[in-house]
Structure 1
Amino acid sequence: MSPRGVAIPDLRERLFAAAERVVARDGAAALTSRAVTTEAECAKGVLHTHFSGIDEFVAELVLDRFARSARDAGELASKVGRGSVGGNLAEVALALLDSLDPAVVGLAMTRPGASTHTRRALEAGAPGFTAIQESVTEYLEAERQGGRVPEGTDAATTSLALVGTVHHLLLTRTPDSVTAAAETIRRLTAVLLGDAR
């Protein structure tokens, strides 16, 4: 337990990681501020010192993971001409799919305060699915110019199809369907790139 009044390095990430462990182990219903701070080995009131409540905390956790996924997607630019195009796209899509536990996504959707906070932050420009889609579009256009994607490929529509499908899977999958969702992503990237074998 951290002593009272002593700064905790990377406190947000420590609390977010603790919340993910609580949800993975005990389910979404177990996610309370006390459960999070106990798991993070912090003083009980520290969550409420930094967040207005559990709804804002859940929303900020989701936004943090979306921002991380957007940064990962931004790395596609460094992979132009390297690896397989389908493999590079699948890697980004699977990272996004794995960025949040389905139960955390469920909390962010079903708790009105968390849902509203998340939506407003995304509307205000917080990195999320739009940023990921833009990175994928830019990557596909660069690969098309390099001859690794067929000339007639509509990069923006392909990107929308991929990111939209990941969004759907992220919101609807269950812990038992993670493997099936990953296989869907692999099949989809093959189809989108014209390799449905």
Structure 2
Amino acid sequence: MSPRGVAIPDLRERLFAAAERVVARDGAAALTSRAVTAEAGCAKGVLHTHFAGLDEFVAELVLDRFARGARSAGELSARTGRGTVAGNLAGVALGLLDSLDPGVAGLALTRPAAALHTREALRSGAPGFAGIEDSVRAYLDGERAGGRVPAGLDCGAVALALVGTVHHLLMTRGPEGPDPRESVTRLIAALVPPPPS
């Protein structure tokens, strides 16, 4: 337990990681501010010192994980011409799926105040799925220019379909649901055929 009044380095991430462990181990219903602080080894009131309440905390956790996904997708263009197109897209898509526990995503949807906070932040420009979609489209534009995908590929439509599907899977799959990796791999193969030889 951290001593009272002593600054805790990376407190937000420590609390977020603790919340993810609580949800993964005990389910979404077990997520309380006390459970988070106990798991993080912090004083009981520290979560409420830094967040307006559990709803804001859940929303900020989701927004943080969306921002991580957006940063990862932003690095996709650096892979243009390297590896395989399908592998590069799968890396981003599967990374997004792994970025947020389904139970936490469910909390963000079912707690009205958390959902509202998340929507407002995304509307105000917080990194999210729109930025991820733009990064995937820009990457595909570069691969099309390099001849690694068909010249007629609608890169915007492919980006929308891929990111929209990942968003759907992330926000609707249950903790005990099937692993979506096979579906994502099949979708990428259908959306991005190799260019004619």
Aligned to 2:14: 14
Quote how far apart the aligned CAs of 1:176 are. Answer: 2.6
Taking the aligned partners of 1:187 and 1:2, their CA distance within structure 2 comes to 47
* 1:125-154 Cα distance to aligned partner (Å, 9 max, x none): 000000000000000000000000100001
Aligned to 2:168: 168
Taking the aligned partners of 2:86 and 2:117, their CA distance within structure 1 comes to 34
RMSD: 0.8
1:92 aligns with 2:88: no
Aligned to 2:184: 185
Taking the aligned partners of 2:16 and 2:133, their CA distance within structure 1 comes to 25
* 1:27-68 Cα distance to aligned partner (Å, 9 max, x none): 000000000000000000000000000000000000000000
Letter in 2 for 1:122: L
State the TM-score, normalizing by the size of structure 2.
Answer: 0.97
Letter in 2 for 1:25: R
Number of matched pairs: 194
Q: How does 1:1-197 map to 2 (within 5 A)?
A: 1-179=1-179, 181-194=180-193
Quote how far apart the aligned CAs of 1:178 are. Answer: 4.5
Quote how far apart the aligned CAs of 1:112 are. Answer: 0.5
Quote how far apart the aligned CAs of 1:177 are. Answer: 2.6
Identity %: 72
Quote how far apart the aligned CAs of 1:77 are. Answer: 1.0
State the TM-score, normalizing by the size of structure 1.
Answer: 0.97
Quote how far apart the aligned CAs of 1:172 are. Answer: 1.4
- For residue 177 of structure 1, give the secondary structure of its aligned residue in structure 2: coil
Letter in 2 for 1:101: D
